[in-house]
Structure 1
């Protein structure tokens, strides 16, 4: 480290003035005791310069005042500077040099970045593609659309040339005001609608939608034979007709927006997937077969209260249905107080036999020291 910091030019001028007075004051300074208090200086750097000048002028006096172990500075050679440079051997010098290196490296990096921004202008980012705004507003009234389309299909496909006003009045309730209530009918013939089944609603733009409706119609036989030379095409007594009905929501209601189109009805459904059924419990099936038979006999007779578990509610079948036989009863594997199984039952109704399937749930009823199985619920079909 530097023995004393550089006092500046003004200190150098004061040192030169101090050299002129050195001879007069040198002896007094050397003879002064080490513990004497130096006179008050106007500037602390003048005192430091004066002491160094005294060391240069009279090294013997200074040597006598210093401890014996302190080496004397060399005065050989040209005139030495008033400040002595002492090498640092601690980590402070390394830390200072390292900090200066980091600072210069940062300055260089900033300079390179500035030059790059000038020589290679940054490209403007491409505008991001805006996502399509989500459709807002209330959902389409599908239930109302099905109801309106079903009413329209029933009126549209039912006509009688003897009472054309009936069809027109029914169509007017679902058509826009002022629409043609003939709806494409020429006013001849007769056709009856037996059933209407509304299906899928497909919404479209401008609050429109297309409703699929299946209609079961029947064309009665003509009252008189057709004229000679015009054979009538045979028509089935009843058949299904598909109808695509266009609707639109307007004024808070759904109305018919245009003429419909007849479409075909598939002759069969798609192939059903293979479903894994439950494993059978043969011993339990044999144990409860009589219980299941008694239930279905009472089920057809309208007396389910006597064969159902306490608290169970199983409405009886309507009159005119008689049990022919419980074809099979298979209980599922399981345990506990509730068990389920599948029953295949043949009924007699309408002069015919009809086989059906049921899922039956049994529950164990304990009374005193006895217990038995009774029906707690019955559901049609084989869905597990």
Structure 2
């Protein structure tokens, strides 16, 4: 074992050394067998072994490890470290969120009362309803006993098929329609609606002379008649469902609300009165280019209108290069005089040596 000699060999070798070694008077120290064995083992390892006579010794292979060491690549190491970093970051984030939910509880908003969505139904075709009702009103209130077919043809275009085109007319008299003004459309059930129409009519003297002994029918001046026309949606269009009803027309409108006017600037009003007067004089004469600001466009009034005078001009309180005011103007038209109101916009125009105010726009009324 480990190249050490057996005990029997050791005794024989000791006897041979004692025979060869001469005896001396001085006793020798006992030889350490382990040191001798170590020296012999060292000699055997360092001495060359002849090729022919050297005995074949078994090659003792050192035991190998049950695993193989593989050098790790830098990319794999980076991916592993990055994955660990992401994992720990997520763990820390979840931990912080959990701590926040415990320390700072989330405020619960008050419950919202759920309301069902309001579904808006389809809007009624007001424009088409007004157009159909206007055509019907014009045909319905127009008649001529000498040409009854004209009225029937006008009604048939807006009535259902096979409807009565006389619509209650007895076939007598004559009346002309001068103007038609459609009004409010009031929707009803089953795609029906009621359309208000105002009609300006002028009765005419009958072409048939009255019978002997009867007085002629008096002729009335032109006047307005109110109708409420029933319509319905059918077949992709609006038609009249039957005879209308005649209604009255209000003699006056409702009471208007009290409107607060702008505060007046007396000094600026006096300063610009001549500018406004020159503008309205040119306005009636058809030449506004010379009295309006650069870039402004004010179409001239029609022929036959002349200026009587600017009754009043009041500029609004304000500042800057753009100002506004109200002018009351009297016109001469058709042998009569008419007082009218305008809102006038002024702008300050400056040149190299002077500056002046000119009209930038003009609008009728006080709004």
Q: TM-score range by the shorter chain?
A: 0.5 to 0.7
Give 1:355's aligned residue: 339
Give 1:147's aligned residue: 131
C-alpha distance in structure 1 between counterparts of 2:318 and 2:178, whole Å: 46
Q: How many residues align?
A: 253
C-alpha distance in structure 2 between counterparts of 1:316 and 1:224, whole Å: 49
C-alpha distance in structure 2 between counterparts of 1:301 and 1:325, whole Å: 13
Which of 260, 263, 276 is 2:260 aligned to? 276
Question: Normalized against structure 2, the TM-score is what?
Answer: 0.65
C-alpha distance in structure 2 between counterparts of 1:135 and 1:215, whole Å: 37
Give 2:300's aligned residue: 316
Pairing 1:295–2:276 present: no
Give 1:205's aligned residue: 189
Give 1:186's aligned residue: 170
Question: Normalized against structure 1, the TM-score is what?
Answer: 0.62
RMSD: 2.0
C-alpha distance in structure 2 between counterparts of 1:314 and 1:188, whole Å: 51
Structure 1: runs of 5 or more not aligned: 1-130
Pairing 1:382–2:366 present: yes
C-alpha distance in structure 2 between counterparts of 1:212 and 1:192, whole Å: 20
Give 1:250's aligned residue: 234
| Deviation (angstroms), 1:298 | 1.1
Residues 279, 288 of structure 2: 8 Å contact kept: yes
C-alpha distance in structure 2 between counterparts of 1:324 and 1:351, whole Å: 12
Residues 220, 237 of structure 1: 8 Å contact kept: no
CA shift in 2, pair 1:310/1:267, >3 Å:
same
**Aligned to 2:197, what secondary structure does the other structure show?**
strand
CA shift in 2, pair 1:233/1:189, >3 Å:
closer
Give 1:267's aligned residue: 251
Moved over 4 A (4+): 131-137, 222-235
Which of 151, 158, 172 is 2:156 aligned to? 172
Residues 174, 205 of structure 2: 8 Å contact kept: no
C-alpha distance in structure 2 between counterparts of 1:227 and 1:293, whole Å: 63
C-alpha distance in structure 2 between counterparts of 1:238 and 1:135, whole Å: 47
